[in-house]
Structure 1
Amino acid sequence: MAIDGNKLQELINKMFGDVGAAMGSALVMLGDKFGFYKTLAADGPMTSAELASKTGTVERYVREWAAAQAAAGYINYDAASGRFSISPEQALVLADENGPAFFPAMYEIVAATLRDEPKVANAFRKGGGVGWHEHDPCLFHGTERFFRPGYAMHLVSEWIPALDGVREKLERGARVADVGCGHGASVTLMAKAFPKSKFFGFDYHQPSIDRAREIAREAGVAERCTFERATAKEFPGTFDLVAFFDCLHDMGDPVGAAAHVKSALAKDGTWMVVEPFGNDRIEDNLNPVGRVFYAASTMICVPGSLSQEVGLGLGTQAGETRLTEVLKAGGFTRVRRATATPFNLILEARP
């Protein structure tokens, strides 16, 4: 088979760039850990020696780190002054942990996929899966830090208002369950916004439940937030709103989970299902967002589902049609797309 030299070079160039990005993942984590980005954002242009002095680190390492980050376009270098700087746009993405586009947390998730590769490789060979609790702890920390800004931007202001009559219920006072709550970022956001309502977070992962309780205390909403260890098919109580944030596709038996949600809803209750945005066909997901989601699905989400009972393995790119089928198979007759973002699909389900 004849080789097209131009296509070959194009692929090599692309992969070389990808290797640089992959090797740079550790550097982003170091920049986040030692506060390099935040220091540059707060104190302006500085030499590597000044940055090292400000952060209590060793200059020779900082110099190499800063040069690599400048080569990546993550920070800037001025040859005349020998100083490194960070632009407002770069700072928003790399230094503002409460901003709408904080990315260093995503690199923690990347690190988890690399550290857990042997476990996933074993599942490739022998079947089965890798449970959420079996992953490197940086996955749990990175997930909470990465998803929290997006929830802060959209959940209270856009997603809940898109549900029929739900915001009014929460303002009057309602019971809300957040299933698969992780570290409870979404619970805390809702509790702050709706002080007359009570919130219950459920997750099968006890360390996440413990951390969620800490975050709720720090946010001053612990008296209205209860966190318990429970699965999606076993959580107790009756609720006006049940929410699943980016977790339905991770479940081994999402149909069984849907059936349990239906039994846990109060009369005229609502189930809000937030999932990664995906089109129904593979060919429509072959884009930068799909690339990240399929990779996460391969290393985290599908192994998680296949480690459980049934092991349906929906994956992050299940798409609206497949998700709707799952919800209806669990007993819901009214399912609609309430709203969407480039990264999220929000479904409203009613019995």
Structure 2
Amino acid sequence: MHSAEALFDKQVDPADVEAFLGRVVGDTSAWVATTMAMIGDRLGLWQALADTRATTSAELAERTGTVERYVREWLSSMAAHGYLTYDPDTGRFALPAEHVPVLAAEGPAFFGGFHHALYGLASMLGPVVEAFRHGGGVPLTAYTEDWWHGLERATSSWFDHLLPEVWLPAMPELDLALRRGADVADVGCGRGRALIRLAEAYPAGRYVGFDVHEESIAAARANAEAAGVADRISFECLDVTAGIPGDYDIITTFDVIHDAVDPLGMLRVIRSALRPDGHYVCLDINASHRLQDNTGPLSAYFYGVSVLFCLTTSLAQGGEGLGTCGFNEHTARRMCAEAGFGTVRRVDVDNPFNILYDITI
């Protein structure tokens, strides 16, 4: 270990150390704020504050069935971080109206699903540290319901709002095919929210979802029943490595390829199951193949989630381990060409999280 004095002897400017220390304090504070936001989501505190009326800690505790002393400390933390406002004259806290869509109302800007998912990822820290030491990874079966449910909530807002309203109108050929009635497969369908939304918006279609995670398939079937679209959707627990049953007009993957054990093999399987005039719709992470271009909070988030889920679950199965940023546009174009696709078109949608591709033979 080097002492601070020894480091300063190497011409380290103490002011630079102080500046970086300030940044680390801020980053650490942000982690605590995120953790508090997770708690607020889990306990329904944000939803109880969504009407934006100022409230005391006692009133909020009574409305949510929680203990006032904990609620008071939580409110203080969120006010200190600027998520809430505080009136010292009345002792009341309020959630500003512009914060409601992000923290309390499930829509395109809602981040509570990600907070819920991160709550689930926290329990994976121990197994991931062991993977650092010994290799391998953490299998899908180790992840808790909080992760899967949080991920469903996070992505459902995209499927409910962006898929029918933004993404498909930007691909008019697919929109027309779906309206006429298309055979559609979703590979890595998770809990089925994308297909359910498609079945609601385009009832003439026929839909099937494939996923290797049994619990997700069970949830997808229940979700389809609850949505009243089970008559036109089926879900199968299947590893598509050996092939996708049937052939399709449209095949979709939503943030799946970068997680795959064998991403090139999966692309080849998708290519073989696509009809000659079909379309492969691929949504994946908006990142660069150049590490130096992947900077800032969102890229740091991507790499962190990769360590805790995307990378480690692939490595747990002896996979390639692309990682969250691994299926970037450069890699996507190269792999799709190797898989036998002819055209890869980046769809013109503005999304900081993802790139949308319309891929054809």
Confirm or deny that 1:179 pairs with 2:187.
Answer: yes
**1:62-113 deviations in whole A, cap 9, x for unaligned?**
111111111111111111111011111111111102x111112212332333
Q: Does 1:117 align with 2:125?
A: yes
Q: What SS is found at the alignment partner of 1:223?
A: coil
Conserved 8 A contact 2:42-2:116:
no
| Structure 1, 114-123 or 45-54: larger mean CA deviation | 114-123
One-letter code aligned to 1:285? N
> Aligned residue pairs: how many?
349
Q: Offset of 1:116 from its aligned partner?
A: 0.7
Offset at 1:22? Answer: 1.9
Counterpart position of 2:170: 162
Contact 2:84 2:95 in 1 (8 A): yes
Matches of residues 84-163 of structure 1 in structure 2 within 5 Å? 84-97=93-106, 99-163=107-171
Structure 1 residue aligned with 2:353:
343
Structure 1: state its 5+ residue gaps. none
Asked if 2 retains the 8 angstrom alpha-carbon contact of 1:250 and 1:313, the reply is: yes
Q: Which amino acid aligns with 1:235?
A: I
- Aligned equivalent of 1:41: 50
Shift of 1:140: 0.8
Q: Indicate the residue corresponding to 2:299 in structure 1.
A: 290
Contact kept, 8 Å, 1:184 with 1:212, in 2: the verdict is yes
Q: CA deviation at 1:164?
A: 5.9
Q: Which segment is superposed worse, 27-36 or 270-279?
A: 27-36
For the Cα contact (< 8 Å) 1:276–1:343, is it kept in 2? yes
Of 275, 288, 302, the match for 1:266? 275
Shift of 1:42: 2.6
Alpha-carbon separation, structure 1, partners of 2:13 and 2:223: 55
Contact 2:41–2:115 (CA<8 Å) still a contact in 1? no
Judge which range, 341-350 or 237-246, deviates more: 341-350
Q: For 1:302 and 1:203, how far apart are their aligned partners in 2?
A: 18
Measure the CA separation in 1 of the matches of 2:293 and 2:310: 20
Over the aligned positions, Cα root-mean-square deviation in angstroms equals 1.6
When the two structures are superposed, what TM-score results if normalisation uses the length of structure 2?
0.92
TM-score (normalised: structure 1): 0.94
Map residues 1-351 of structure 1 onto 2, 5 A cutoff.
Answer: 1-42=10-51, 44-97=53-106, 99-163=107-171, 165-233=173-241, 234-309=243-318, 311-318=319-326, 319-340=328-349, 341-351=351-361
**Amino acid in the other structure paired with 2:209:** G
Deviating more after overlay: 289-298 vs 146-155 = 146-155
Per-residue CA distance 1:150-172 (angstroms, 9 max, x = gap): 23332122222333611111000
User: SS at 1:42's partner residue?
Assistant: coil
Which runs of no fewer than 5 residues in structure 2 stay unpaired?
Answer: 1-9
| Letter paired with 1:345 | I
Distance 2:20 2:149 in 1: 34
Shift of 1:254: 0.9
User: What is the rounded CA distance, in whole Å, between the counterparts of 2:292 and 2:146 in structure 1?
Assistant: 32
Residues of 1 paired with 2:152 and 2:100: CA distance?
A: 20
Distance 2:200 2:19 in 1: 50
User: Matched residue of 2:355: which SS?
Assistant: strand
Residues of 2 paired with 1:308 and 1:334: CA distance?
A: 31
* Residues 10, 136 of structure 1: alpha-carbon distance in 2 compared, 3 angstrom cutoff: farther
Classify the secondary structure of the residue corresponding to 1:269. strand
Instruction: Give the AA of the match of 1:268.
Output: D
C-alpha separation between the residues in 1 aligned to 2:283 and 2:103?
26
My pick for the range that moved more, 201-210 or 312-321, is 312-321
* Secondary structure of the corresponding residue to residue 170 of structure 2: coil
The percent of aligned pairs where both chains have the same amino acid is 38
Contact 1:25 1:111 in 2 (8 A): no
In structure 1, what residue type is equivalent to 2:65? G
C-alpha displacement of 1:235: 3.3
Aligned partners of 1:198 and 1:225 also within 8 Å: yes
Structure 2 counterpart SS, 1:3: coil
